[in-house]
Amino acid sequence: MNFDFKIYKRDNTKEDWYDPLCSNEFTEYTYLKCLDCDYEEEIELDILLECCDSKKFSYPSMVCPHCNKGNFIPKDIYYKIKDNNLKN
């Protein structure tokens, strides 16, 4: 899977709850931003990818928890779409 947005890694080994036997060393996450209301939130990549069908869409999108519209998308793609809108 090759999405065009930035993935961040959180080092779990420094967390209090980290257990080498059953925890991942890193959590991958990214930031989502809503095209409609500009609401922004950090989300784990696993959760994001579970909620989207990558074969249908070139980028994942979720329902925005703030305005309930389905335009809650990775921040990098948000800015690309906004930039395109400005140029057109």
Between 36 and 44, whose beta carbon lies closer to Zn ion?
Answer: 36
Residues 6+ apart with CB under 8 A from 37: 64, 66, 67, 69
Mark the segment that binds Zn ion (CB under 5 A) among 1-9, 11-19, 36-44, 74-82: 36-44
Among 32, 34, 48, 73, binds Zn ion (CB under 5 A): 34
Residues 39-58 that bind Zn ion (CB under 5 A): 39
Instruction: Report yes or no: 5 and 30 within 8 Å, Cβ to Cβ.
Output: yes
Q: Is 47 exposed, middle or buried (0-12, 13-18, 19+ CB in 10 A)?
A: exposed
Q: How far is the CB of 33 from Zn ion (least distance, A)?
A: 9
Task: Choose one: 10-18, 41-49, 50-58, 59-67; the region binding Zn ion (CB under 5 A).
Answer: 59-67
* Strands 8-11 and 26-34, bridge-based pairing: antiparallel
Query: What is the smallest separation between the CB atom of 14 and Zn ion, expressed in angstroms?
Result: 32
